[in-house]
Chains A and B, each alone.
Chain A
Amino acid sequence: MRQSTELAEMGVGIVTLFFSQVRRLPEYRTHFGIPDTIPLLADEGRTVYKAYGMRIGSLRQIYSPEVIAKYTRLIRGGMKMKMKTDEDTRQLGGDVIVGADGRIILAHCSKNQADRPSVETLIAAIRDARQGNL
């Protein structure tokens, strides 16, 4: 999990949502190497995905050159693709930072599966919010 230590040192909590059944979550924790300190949440009905505006991708988005290139890099880097899924592979994700007061600091709803903000972007947004620049 990318630079989660730096975020934890900033006092930032992280939770990861999956559109899966609860029983699948341990498999995801192992597969992605997610630390035990990060709760995994099961949103099987995708009600939270919908409430936060996460998109369903088109085939063009799912199989875009950017996505294929990223998959290729990850596989070459050692990522295993053997994990089976019976879930909707067109469901896109995103990253949302919720401030201490419950207001959104940053919401990024991915345009394709390779599209996500960098950790540096997330950290900068939190620092800006703390300085009152939201």
Chain B
Amino acid sequence: MACLAAGDSAPDFELHTDRGDAWRLSAHLGKPLILMFHRHLQ
């Protein structure tokens, strides 16, 4: 899968948070969101 590009639709997803809640991307739209994908060097 290639890196997405500006203008593409962001794939929706649901993951669990450190508090144990479910977090779904589509439920948090309405403002810009930065998704920071961790690597081992921050």
Chain A residues within CB distance 8 Å of chain B? 7, 10-19, 22, 25-26, 28-29, 32, 39-43, 47-55, 67, 70-71, 74, 85, 87, 89, 91-110, 113-114, 122, 126, 129, 134
Majority secondary structure, B binding face: loop
Majority secondary structure, A binding face: mixed
Q: Tell me, rounded to whole Å, the shortest Cβ–Cβ distance linking B20 to chain A.
A: 7
Cα of A94 to Cα of B31 in the assembled complex, Å: 20
Instruction: Tell whether A12 pairs with B32 under 8 Å between CB atoms, given A18-B38, A22-B20, A49-B37.
Output: yes
Residues of chain A lying within 8 A (CB to CB) of residue B2: 53
Cα of A129 to Cα of B34 in the assembled complex, Å: 13
Interface string of B1-21 (1 = CB under 8 A from A): 111111111111101111110
Does A95 contact B34, Cβ atoms closer than 8 Å?
Answer: yes
Does B6 contact A104, Cβ atoms closer than 8 Å?
Answer: yes
Instruction: Tell whether A103 pairs with B10 under 8 Å between CB atoms, given A13-B32, A53-B2, A94-B3.
Output: yes
Chain B residues within CB distance 8 Å of chain A? 1-13, 15-20, 23, 25-26, 28-42
17 contacts between A and B (CB under 8 A): A13-B33, A14-B36, A18-B38, A25-B17, A40-B17, A40-B18, A48-B15, A93-B39, A94-B37, A95-B36, A103-B7, A103-B8, A104-B5, A104-B6, A106-B6, A107-B4, A107-B6
Does A11 contact B9, Cβ atoms closer than 8 Å?
Answer: no
Does A102 contact B9, Cβ atoms closer than 8 Å?
Answer: yes
Closest 3 CB pairs of A and B: A25-B18, A93-B39, A109-B3
What would 5 more interface pairs be, CB under 8 Å, given A98-B29, A102-B9, A104-B7?
A: A17-B37, A29-B18, A92-B39, A98-B33, A103-B10
